Structure 1
Amino acid sequence: MSRAFKPGIEKLIDQSTPTKPSGFNDPLISVCSACRAGPFSHEGFRQAISSGRYTGSSGYRYTTTWQKILQAVVNEACNWCHILRRTRAGVRADKALLISGETVEVRFQVSVKYTAQDSSHIKIYFNGLLVARYTMVLYANEGDGVTIDMSTASANLIWPWKNRDEIYYTKASECIQACSDHEYCPSYEEVYLPTRVIDCSDPAKPCLIETQGVIKGYYCTLSYVWGGDQLHKTTTSNIDTYIREGINVDLPQTIADAIVVTNKLGFQYLWVDALCIIQDSNEDKVKELESMTRIYCNAHLTISVLSAYSAYEGFLPGRRAPDVLPFYLADEASTPGWMLLKCGVQFPGRLSRQLGLSNSSMHAPLRKRSWSLQESILSPRQIIFQPPDVLYKCRSFQAVGIDEDTWSTNTRKLATDHIIFSEETHPTLNKDKFYEQWQNILEDYSKRKSTLSSDKLVAVASVAEILQSHVQDQYIAGLWRRNLLDDLLWEVIAPMGPDETHLPRPITYRAPTWSWASVDGELQARRWQYDLACASYKAEIQMCKATPKFISHPLGEITDAKLTIAAKIRPLMRDGRGCSFIEHVGTKIDTGGLKYWYWTAPAGNILETLSTKSSSDGGLKGGFVFDCLEGTEQDCQTNFYVMLLHAGKYYTHYWVDGLLLIQVDNMTDHYRRVAKFNFKHEYQWLDWLDTEPLKLVTLI
């Protein structure tokens, strides 16, 4: 269950973690020989700060390889090379291809501020891509004759967490305790622990425990971005050692920090996927996937690391020793001073203005990962780390900073996650609120990415499992049996891929073409607002089934699925010929002013009575929206078919919606979905709709 795939990026091998030197008389001992001759030579460093302002060409740049950087870390404990490796591990997944090669151009720029009101900082670029901004605290060697007003007090200003950890832990505990009085939050009671948990009684000596399903207690879970493979994870070869002797390895900083938080909040046990699932055992992975709903629902608290792109970044700045590097304080300086680096962050809102820093929102890579949505929804309570803020969220209330007074007042905003946990299961219950909540979840989920394409259905299966039990409906390949005609009206919001292009279907089968899980891209569950219950025509579902890959995990991966519908279906072109579509890029039509990609068929199509006649407000409303690259080809003439799902009249407007299909080779009544359409028009009706008979159509 790895996350945050970075194409072409090697796993971070943390064989050596440079530490602060015991003395600072010679700051140059903190970097390797190559860095002493290059970026941290007097000439090189002064070049990095010589401009006075940042430009595209300012700063010091040099070309090296990742292998040389790794060797400098391992053999010479170079702090600068270690920073570069750590920074590479945290590069956003969508930017990782820019640094996927072995050779890299490194450029860094230095800005020096001599007052505590402004922070000195370094910017680092890889191949022209800005990848990090570090705050500097500067110190001079004796005899340099330079005074810099950047003291410990300034460091506290830049990092408000310093010496305030206990305050946050106390307030977090108060938030957790307050949940016992919330309407939608579950009661506090001990539960059977997951198969394996980490004993955090001594954060310096964590130990893996196998519970055998008989140990009860309270436990925390960790929700975080892997950022690539991890060197230290539980495997068949080390699990016995982790249980018998403890986890005596240098864990990724995020996991190490989570162990500390678990202990500080008074909990003994922590569940982390990398350590509590045997990562090289498919059998164990499948078994634990079956328990994912229970693991997160039963957790007393989930620790959510919102702003870290990699497990190696950590989220407790006060626990990580600052990086030490040389610094030439003046043009004439013969010997370097030294500086401490802390990873810079953008401070949002009130704190930003208080510190005089730019007001921009933080990156939240965890919200870009498919697995994290399920983890957030299932978790009864979350403590969310987004430096410098610590937030608290539960099923009753939305997230709010725990250092603010609002978390304990009646002004907090209600959350909606609790809807899918409703115990109202009476057969006559109006299920609309459940389906509406699912549509909201699906639209959020579609914006996120998984490392493995096969996780598309798996990473949201636990949410579907909970919802299925309450709506008493059947979940099939991502859609709901009782709501199937409506659910088929999903569409992909174009453009889907880079350079505003459509994406191809996944090479390996993961869902039928009529399921949103068969394609990638951001979804919109339904565009039209008409009451479909009032449609004068509706297609009829005859059969719908899916074959799960694992019987024990029926809502996860599937190997096959079919949908049979009795519907009105005809070739798109009246003369039966093939055709290609015309793309309208970013054209504004009836979507509230939003740019909306849509496609139109050539003249002579069977929807022409709707799509070519004019009306008082401009004619056509709607269009074809392709699911992916399939069907959009311009170099061939494709035989398309129109299948109607609904048709009706809304005041003076006639409207239809349905699917655009391609016939499967050598299978007369079998089709593949390639697009969704809906049209409305004043005073027009399809000339063939009333006379066309229903036909059985099977979609695969």
Structure 2
Amino acid sequence: MPLRNSLRQPVRQLSGQTRRKPCRTCNNLDPRGHSSSMYNAESEKTPLASLSLVLDALSLAKTKDPKEGGCRFCGVLVQALDAFFENWRGVRQRVCVDLKEKGSIKVGIDGEEWKRELVEIYAGSASRAPWPTLGTAHHIPTDSGSDDTFNFARRCIQDCLVNPKHVACKLPSKSSTSSPKRLLDVGRVTAPIRLIDTQGKSFEYAALSHCWGTGPTLTAKKSNWQKLTSNIPFDALPPLFQDAIVITRQLGLRYIWIDSLCIIQDSVRDWETESAKMGSIYENSYVTISATNSGDGSIRCLADRRKPVKLNYENTTGKEFSLRARLIQDHHPDVQDGEPARLTGRLTTRAWALQEHVLSTRILHYTATELLFECKTSCRCECKPSRKILPTTPALIPKAIAKQSKRRDTIWDAWHRIVEQYSKRDLTVPNDKLPAISGIAHKIKEATESSYFAGVWEHNIASDLLWSTCLTAMPDAHYFSPETYRAPSFSWASLDTPVSFYSPDEDERETFNSSITPMSSSISVTGLNPLGAVADATIQVRGPTIRAVLCSTQKDGMWEYALLIKGTSAIGISHDCLLVADTVATTSEVTQTTARRAHCGDKPFEFKAAVLCLGVARFDSWASGLVLGFSSQGSGLFERLGTFSAGMEAFQRAEDQEIELA
């Protein structure tokens, strides 16, 4: 456990060294001796220091040149920022500097432009460190297609295959129903690349995870797939596919699965059949090649990386030292919080790619700065190639399933975290919202044997219904409900907004009690994937309900909504999107003014409308639930408008009744 400066041992000095008063800005890039210095107590003899500094970018940019009396160490920071962060001068942002004794220095800038990018400063030679606390960094090849990088990939895969601790990485037993129908045969340079029919047999293959992009790409269609079975000229393939084939061959494999070529894209039946198997296709692959930094098929993943730069540094005697800086990404797992590697790249914004990442057994991430390897047990990268058991994204579901015998909530927590990340990602085809996560849903269904209602699970229905939208940072278009039906209103998949779920701590989890009981459901799927797209879905639940009036008001340009319930003060709600008043027929002879989700083109206005509040769960003396509007789809149906949380006194006059949610 780290120790604060007040508990530290005296700062160690080299023989004959006189310690000068450090710079008040950068502490001479020394992690020791600062009021915020931390010391690793695991090593009692020589505890290593660490220090995090937050500097003002405007002030740092005005640092005098060392030749004019400025701080030599601040000068190192300025050089590094100038080399890699264009336009950083003149911005009012924080510069974050992380120092570790005998380690490299990590420098980053707050702000979207430089999100997750760091400059790493390190000694160029272990025998000539510029100052005692600065360490070296592991070599990263400047070419992602170098022999060193391929050797690193082979070592990672081989270690995963033979390491007895990697129990979770053993491939599941394959079956003809989960195997890919087609593969690309690419293993022999002298033989033609061609599409083969696996005929239900098992093959060892790689799988490509990539962005299609908006440009043209080679795809299999009814008109050309027969030709693809005889010969696909290497030069006819997009550059990214060419690189994927090179990687496949370098790993000693003969086959690769690429969705655009192994699924007949204009055959609805073939697409539905094969896309429903995507989860198992990636899970059963020998390795997944993730083109993390490629936005489309024209951008190679085997490419030159930005080279390190030399920084000028002279000590007080005028002696020059070898000092280097390079651009890296802030990707390392957070062991303390159990967070997996944090990747940056175009692929990480695509919805389909999330389940490819989550379900792969082994995966090679080709990022802008280095190669990163993940499996269901550990994570390694070229800057930290050591073998350690670390949290990974592919391990998320296996760990949750393994722990469910002790605490079943773990698997539902994993589902919520996945949906939260998934809802932030982009889809080219909006109707793919449920199909693109169906592989993960299949794994959850296998483990829990729970019924699945278009993104909501019967065995966790109370928690699953209490999702909330995160609207404040979204463009105006996302404040509206989609025009075309995609999912029932009670499902997070019905909207194009990021969502979040309530995460109770251990004490709160003990007091959480569901107030509803699922009674029946009706779901009509549109294709062959039982967990995919739906044409219609409803669920009937029994729980405490109370009628209320929903009021809308505009404040500082934002629309707010509150519930008026007799005997209580106004209760603010978390609305799903913009809401408007509407008139619906509740019976053949009676109409009702209610509220509904706004569609693009609707103009918001102030209103008061009748709604129904359904209590979904209780936390001690608090109730959380859904705000429901009367549905125009049919008499007796209700549609979700948002969520609320209030004291139990608001539900004193609630009546238990069965209601149907659409």
Q: So what's the TM-score if we normalise by structure 2?
A: 0.66
Quickly say closer, same or farther: Cα 1:234–1:435, change in 2 above 3 A. same
Give the superposition deviation at 1:475.
1.6
Give the superposition deviation at 1:644.
3.0
Q: Which residue of 1 aligns with 2:658?
A: 696
Which amino acid is 1:462 matched to?
G
Alignment of 1:439-588 (within 5 A): 439-495=416-472, 497-498=474-475, 502-526=478-502, 531=508, 534=511, 538-550=515-527, 552-573=528-549, 579-582=551-554
Quickly say closer, same or farther: Cα 1:359–1:670, change in 2 above 3 A. same
Aligned partners of 2:404 and 2:172: how far apart in 1? 30
Is it true that 1:673 corresponds to 2:654 in the alignment?
Answer: no
Aligned counterpart in structure 2 of residue 663 of structure 1, from 619, 630, 633: 630
Aligned partners of 2:344 and 2:396: how far apart in 1? 28
SS, match of residue 678 in structure 1: strand
- Encode CA deviations 1:318-366: one digit per residue, 9 max, x unaligned: 5xxxxxxxxxxxxxxxxxxxxxxxx86999xxxxx97535666685111
Q: Which residue of 2 aligns with 1:635?
A: 605
Q: Which residue of 2 aligns with 1:606?
A: 565
Is it true that 1:389 corresponds to 2:370 in the alignment?
Answer: yes
SS, match of residue 249 in structure 2: helix
- Encode CA deviations 1:425-479: one digit per residue, 9 max, x unaligned: 9997642111111111111111111110001001000011011101121121101
Quickly say closer, same or farther: Cα 1:121–1:642, change in 2 above 3 A. closer
Q: Which residue of 2 aligns with 1:356?
A: 325
Give the superposition deviation at 1:178.
1.0
SS, match of residue 179 in structure 1: helix
Alignment of 1:260-299 (within 5 A): 260-299=246-285
Quickly say closer, same or farther: Cα 1:647–1:451, change in 2 above 3 A. closer
SS, match of residue 552 in structure 2: coil
Which amino acid is 2:521 matched to?
C
Q: Which residue of 1 aligns with 2:384?
A: 404
Aligned partners of 1:674 and 1:607: how far apart in 2? 20
SS, match of residue 297 in structure 1: helix
Quickly say closer, same or farther: Cα 1:419–1:426, change in 2 above 3 A. closer
Q: Is the 8 A contact 1:496 1:521 kept in 2?
A: no
- Encode CA deviations 1:163-202: one digit per residue, 9 max, x unaligned: 9711211221111111122334333699575211111224
Which amino acid is 2:413 matched to?
E
SS, match of residue 694 in structure 1: strand
SS, match of residue 317 in structure 1: coil
Q: Is the 8 A contact 1:475 1:555 kept in 2?
A: yes
Q: Is the 8 A contact 1:203 1:259 kept in 2?
A: no
Give the superposition deviation at 1:508.
1.3
Q: Is the 8 A contact 2:156 2:373 kept in 1?
A: yes
Q: Is the 8 A contact 1:383 1:390 kept in 2?
A: yes
Which amino acid is 1:558 matched to?
V
Is it true that 1:236 corresponds to 2:205 in the alignment?
Answer: no
Give the superposition deviation at 1:122.
12
Is it true that 1:626 corresponds to 2:575 in the alignment?
Answer: yes
SS, match of residue 565 in structure 1: strand
SS, match of residue 376 in structure 1: helix
Which amino acid is 2:451 matched to?
Q
Q: Which residue of 1 aligns with 2:45?
A: none
Give the superposition deviation at 1:544.
2.6
Give the superposition deviation at 1:418.
3.2
Aligned counterpart in structure 2 of residue 316 of structure 1, from 302, 305, 319: 302
Give the superposition deviation at 1:372.
0.7
Q: Which residue of 1 aligns with 2:37?
A: none
SS, match of residue 639 in structure 1: strand
Alignment of 1:330-345 (within 5 A): none
Q: Is the 8 A contact 2:551 2:561 kept in 1?
A: no
Q: Is the 8 A contact 1:491 1:523 kept in 2?
A: yes
Give the superposition deviation at 1:670.
1.4
Is it true that 1:685 corresponds to 2:634 in the alignment?
Answer: no
Quickly say closer, same or farther: Cα 1:250–1:354, change in 2 above 3 A. farther
Aligned partners of 2:508 and 2:373: how far apart in 1? 38
Q: So what's the TM-score if we normalise by structure 1?
A: 0.62
Aligned partners of 1:402 and 1:515: how far apart in 2? 41
Give the superposition deviation at 1:297.
1.3
SS, match of residue 601 in structure 1: strand
Is it true that 1:257 corresponds to 2:243 in the alignment?
Answer: yes
Quickly say closer, same or farther: Cα 1:163–1:528, change in 2 above 3 A. closer
Aligned partners of 2:198 and 2:604: how far apart in 1? 60
Aligned partners of 1:420 and 1:184: how far apart in 2? 14
- Encode CA deviations 1:87-126: one digit per residue, 9 max, x unaligned: xxxxxxxxxxxxxxxxxxxxxxxxxxxxxx9989999xxx
More RCO (CA 8 Å, sep 6+): 1
Give the superposition deviation at 1:519.
0.4
Which amino acid is 1:400 matched to?
R
Q: Is the 8 A contact 1:118 1:356 kept in 2?
A: no
Quickly say closer, same or farther: Cα 1:222–1:638, change in 2 above 3 A. farther
Give the superposition deviation at 1:671.
1.2
Q: Which residue of 2 aligns with 1:46?
A: none
SS, match of residue 284 in structure 1: helix
Quickly say closer, same or farther: Cα 1:670–1:496, change in 2 above 3 A. farther
Q: Which residue of 2 aligns with 1:81?
A: none
Q: Which runs of 5+ in 2 are unaligned?
A: 1-80, 88-112, 114-138, 310-321, 331-342, 581-597
Aligned partners of 2:307 and 2:575: how far apart in 1? 40
Give the superposition deviation at 1:640.
3.6
Aligned counterpart in structure 2 of residue 418 of structure 1, from 395, 398, 407: 395
Quickly say closer, same or farther: Cα 1:354–1:438, change in 2 above 3 A. farther
Q: Which runs of 5+ in 1 are unaligned?
A: 1-116, 124-129, 131-157, 319-342, 348-352, 586-596, 613-622
Aligned partners of 2:539 and 2:660: how far apart in 1? 5
Alignment of 1:124-273 (within 5 A): 160-162=141-143, 165-180=146-161, 181=163, 182-187=165-170, 194-202=180-188, 207-247=193-233, 249-273=235-259
Quickly say closer, same or farther: Cα 1:304–1:310, change in 2 above 3 A. same
Give the superposition deviation at 1:609.
2.4
Aligned partners of 1:666 and 1:283: how far apart in 2? 30
Aligned partners of 2:263 and 2:437: how far apart in 1? 19
Give the superposition deviation at 1:600.
4.1
Aligned partners of 1:416 and 1:359: how far apart in 2? 20
Aligned partners of 2:617 and 2:144: how far apart in 1? 65
SS, match of residue 609 in structure 1: coil
SS, match of residue 673 in structure 1: strand
Which amino acid is 2:641 matched to?
V
Q: Is the 8 A contact 1:571 1:639 kept in 2?
A: no
Which amino acid is 1:373 matched to?
L
Q: Is the 8 A contact 2:480 2:578 kept in 1?
A: yes
Q: Which residue of 1 aligns with 2:100?
A: none
Aligned partners of 2:353 and 2:144: how far apart in 1? 30
Which amino acid is 2:428 matched to?
T
- Encode CA deviations 1:543-581: one digit per residue, 9 max, x unaligned: 23321112x3100001111121223333323xxxx6324
Quickly say closer, same or farther: Cα 1:583–1:546, change in 2 above 3 A. farther
Aligned partners of 2:574 and 2:623: how far apart in 1? 14
Quickly say closer, same or farther: Cα 1:536–1:515, change in 2 above 3 A. closer
Give the superposition deviation at 1:217.
2.5
